[in-house]
A and B are shown apart, each in its own frame.
Chain A
Amino acid sequence: MTAPQNAPAEHSEGGIVVRNVSRAFGQVHAVRDASLDAKPGTVTALIGPNGSGKTTLLLMLASLLRPDAGSIQVCGVDPSIDPLAVRASLGWMPDILGSWSVLTVRSALETTGRLYRMDRRTAAARASELLDLVGLTALATQRTGVLSRGQKQKLSLARALVHDPSVLLLDEPASGLDPVARLDLQRLVRRLAGDGKTILVSSHVLAELDEMADDAVYLEAGVTASADRIAKSKSSSRQWRIRSRDLSGLRASLASTGIAQADILEDRGELLIPLDGDAAAEELLRSLVTSGAPISAFSPAVGELEHTFLDLSRGGAVADPPADGARS
């Protein structure tokens, strides 16, 4: 989980490179200054609260929106200059679930293949593969209009994969999925990354991103957080959760390691302790075990992404003063 720290300005081998991109809709500056790198073979999480500009940024990457300023490279190509080349190598799963409602699931996928200039036979074969891949084979002859939200989500993912793109943009891919489907999605995304694809996943459900993302990009109020700020947030104080059969014994052991009683919170039969960084956690665990406290679980109370995200949000100053909003 490392943010791009020493990212080269350009790497032509593929992936996504975004530098200082901004986009306004009238008076609303949806994206003010976004920079990110997503490398082939990795899953990059795009994290930000609602309205932070995630979807706008993805639309610009998908060659649908023109940035007001800044540069974008998808597989080494600028979507504003050669959108067709970008589209040929890019799969986009939008956050809204539109589908041709009277078409069957299979023919919707075949039609998408045809729109990607496949011939009839190739498109049909690819549709069958994808139905299998996302687990919609049983629903292949249903009209897409009758699908549930989760099923539409799967169809939308399959559609993004029709032309076997090397870059995938997934906008909230897991919303509406049941836990099993969510797990399937995670496995599929990991597998696609293993095949060398560049994957950018946006979400505000951080726990699920924790499971599959290698890198993370934090976006707030249209500005991506710098690597320095992220590093600082990661080392800041966070809650750890300790489970024990003997809470009073645990409290005593904690007191002996020098942790103030006032800092200890009790939550659903477990204790929450604030610690500064992983080193502090290692030290505490070692001394607790040595002291013979009965511990059955010792883990961060919130996921890595969530912690960083919340810390950045609380920091408040992620967004620089919008002086550069008018950059041209």
Chain B
Amino acid sequence: MKNFLLGAGVVFSLEMRQRVRGVALYVLLGVFFLLILIVTAILASVLFSSGAATNQQSGASAFSTIIYFVLLLGTLVAPALSGNAINGDREAGTLATTQVTLVSSWQIVFGKFLASWVTALAFLAVSVPFLIFSMVVGVAPLTVIVSILVLAVELGIVAAIGVGLSGVIPRPLFSIVVTYLVIAMLSIGTLIGFSLGGLLIESPTTTRVYSSTQSDADGNSIHCTYSQTDRGRAPRVDYVWGILVANPYVLLADAVPTTVDSHGNLTDLFGFIKYAERSAQIPPQLHTTRNDCSLGQDDSQQYRETIDSTTPGWLVGLILQLVLAGAALAGAGLKLTTPAGRLSKGSRVA
């Protein structure tokens, strides 16, 4: 194990030196910083000028979007940093000269993954001041801390997928594009998949309806009887919610501890997303009764209860993402193992 880390460490430091000495990284970091600055400034000016910032609730809700913005930019930048880590070396003619030394293919893959991750974390570090700012203006500190952790993990997942695909796919341009497609699949594809799943899988429902047959002078029912059975179909999103939690945005929202105000209402964007996702886990009631005589019942939303009684979506999502990232890295490690048996078409060992 120690030897493994030593070898991977050499690959890591080699990779870092190559990245750190490039100008491109600093330009990107600068652009990244500027973009978040602009978004934060616009949010702040709108909220403060309208006086809404005095309302802590709306402040928190708005500024949690900064965290999402960091996640968006991070997942957009990370594939570019990692998507050609291995096949780029092959094109530059430096991969084979590394493979012929005493480091194994797994050490190469791991070292490169680590370097890509650390580079991506630099972007998170640049955004930390804004996250702290969001804390100052009303986002709960725990929310910000958990968000930073989740952001760090998500950048790692993207780095792993990028490095893995760059080992599996021979052409750098193609592997970067595929990495972006995987990110798009996770960010948008999961939403589409979830919706389609809900459309495809439905269960028949029956509702026994009781209606008023006799009313008093004030219009209140004094006698109710069974009148009919309504039939319908309910989407079974409780079967496909696993797709939804693989979404980085949902995962982040789910991981953040829920904050409720004194009225028991959710306070921020994450809370609403989390509640919607957790509700999707609960199977619909297929056989219900509706009593038209007692309309207007208090149907208060039990946020706490729903969230506490359901599976932590972030954990499930994280496991799914880790499997994906691990598979990509494993594929790269196997592909790099020498002496090489099969080669992909048109590729050279050296």
Q: Which residues of A are interface residues toward B (Cβ below 8 A)?
A: 25-26, 55, 59-60, 62-66, 79-80, 83-84, 87-88, 90, 92, 94-103, 107, 111-112, 114-117, 156, 159
Interface membership of B182, Cβ < 8 A: no
Distance in angstroms from A97 CB to nearest chain B CB is 6
Tell me how many residues of B have a C-beta within 8 Å of chain A: 31
Q: How far, in Å, is A209 (CB) from chain B's closest CB?
A: 22
Q: Are B341 and A66 in contact (CB under 8 A)?
A: yes
Contact A59 B350 (CB under 8 A): yes
Identify the closest chain A residue to B91 (Cβ).
A98
CB distance from B157 to the nearest CB of A (A): 27
Complex Cα spacing A109 to B100, Å: 14
Q: Known A102-B22, A114-B10; judge A60-B339 contact (CB<8 A).
A: yes
A61 to chain B, nearest CB (A): 10
- Chain B residue contacts of A111, Cβ below 8 A: 10, 14
Complex contact A64–B338 (CB within 8 A):
yes
Query: Residues of A contacting B11 with CB < 8 Å?
Result: 115
The residue that A159 contacts in the complex, of B97, B99, B338, with Cβ under 8 A, is B97
Q: Convert B1-17 into 0s and 1s, putting 1 for each residue whose CB lies closer than 8 angstroms to a CB of A.
A: 00100110011001001
CA–CA, A94 to B50, complex, Å?
67
Q: Which residues 97-130 of B have a CB within 8 angstroms of A?
A: 97-103
A100 pairs with B18, CB closer than 8 A:
yes
**Which residues of the other chain, B, contact A83 by a CB distance below 8 angstroms?**
338-339
CB contact between A96 and one of B99, B340, B350 (< 8 Å): that residue: B350
Are the CB atoms of A92 and B92 closer together than 8 Å?
no
**B350: shortest Cβ distance to chain A, in Å?**
5
- Measured between beta carbons, the chain B residues less than 8 angstroms from A64 are 96, 99-100, 338-340, 349-350
Query: How far is it, in angstroms, between the C-alpha of A92 and the C-alpha of B99 when the chains are bound?
Result: 11
Q: Given A59-B350, A65-B339, A83-B339: A98 and B101 within 8 A (CB)?
A: no
CA distance A95 to B93 in the complex (A): 10
Known: A64-B340, A84-B102, A100-B18. A115 touches B7 (CB 8 A): yes
Nearest residue, chain A, Cβ from B3 = A117
Chain A neighbourhood of B92, CB < 8 A? 98, 101
Q: Are B94 and A63 in contact (CB under 8 A)?
A: no
Determine the distance from Cα of A278 to Cα of B349 in the docked complex, in whole angstroms.
44
B307-350 interface bits toward A, Cβ cutoff 8 Å, 1 = contact, 0 = none: 00000000000000000000000000000001111010100011
With A59-B350, A96-B93 in contact, do A115 and B103 touch (Cβ < 8 Å)?
yes
Q: A59-B349, A103-B17, A115-B7 are in contact. Are A66 and B101 (CB under 8 A)?
A: no
* CB proximity of B5 to chain A, nearest CB, Å: 12
- What are 16 A-B pairs with beta-carbon distances under 8 A? A25-B343, A63-B100, A63-B339, A83-B338, A84-B102, A87-B100, A90-B100, A94-B93, A94-B96, A96-B93, A101-B92, A102-B18, A112-B101, A114-B10, A115-B102, A156-B97
The 10 closest A-B pairs by CB, nearest first: A98-B93, A115-B101, A66-B339, A98-B94, A102-B21, A114-B10, A96-B93, A64-B349, A64-B338, A66-B341
In this complex, the member of B11, B21, B93, B101 whose beta carbon has the largest number of chain A beta carbons within 10 angstroms is B101
Measured CA separation A96–B22 after assembly (Å): 23
Q: How far apart sit A87 and B6, CA to CA, in the bound complex (Å)?
A: 18
Chain A residues whose C-beta falls within 8 Å of the C-beta of B97 in the assembled complex: 92, 94, 98, 112, 156, 159
A103, B18: Cβ atoms under 8 Å?
Answer: yes
Q: Given A59-B349, A59-B350, are A116 and B101 neighbors across the interface (CB < 8 Å)?
A: yes
Q: What is the bound-complex CA distance between A79 and B10, given in angstroms?
A: 24
Are the C-beta atoms of B339 and A80 separated by less than 8 Å?
yes
Cα(A55)–Cα(B21), bound, Å: 33
CB distance from A21 to the nearest CB of B (A): 12
Chain A residues with CB under 8 Å of B341's CB are 66
Tell me the smallest distance from the CB of A224 to a CB of chain B, in Å. 20
Counting chain A CB atoms within 10 Å of each CB, the highest count among B98, B99, B338 belongs to B338
Q: In the bound complex, do residue B339 and residue A99 qualify as a contact, i.e. CB atoms below 8 Å apart?
A: no
CB atoms of B7 and A117 under 8 A apart: yes
CB proximity of B172 to chain A, nearest CB, Å: 14
Residues of chain B within 8 A of A107, CB atoms compared? 17
Asked if B339 and A79 make an inter-chain contact with CB atoms under 8 angstroms apart, the answer reads: yes
The smallest beta-carbon distance between B241 and chain A, in angstroms, is 45
Q: Kindly list chain B residues whose C-beta atoms are within 8 Å of the C-beta of A98.
A: 89, 92-97
| A83 to B341 CA separation, bound complex (whole angstroms) | 13
A63-B338, A65-B340, A102-B22 known, 18 other contacts, Cβ within 8 Å: A63-B100, A64-B339, A64-B349, A65-B339, A80-B339, A84-B102, A92-B97, A94-B96, A96-B93, A99-B93, A101-B92, A103-B18, A112-B101, A115-B10, A115-B98, A116-B101, A116-B102, A159-B97
Residues of A within 8 A of B7 (CB): 115, 117
Distance (Å) between the CB of B150 and the closest chain A CB? 33
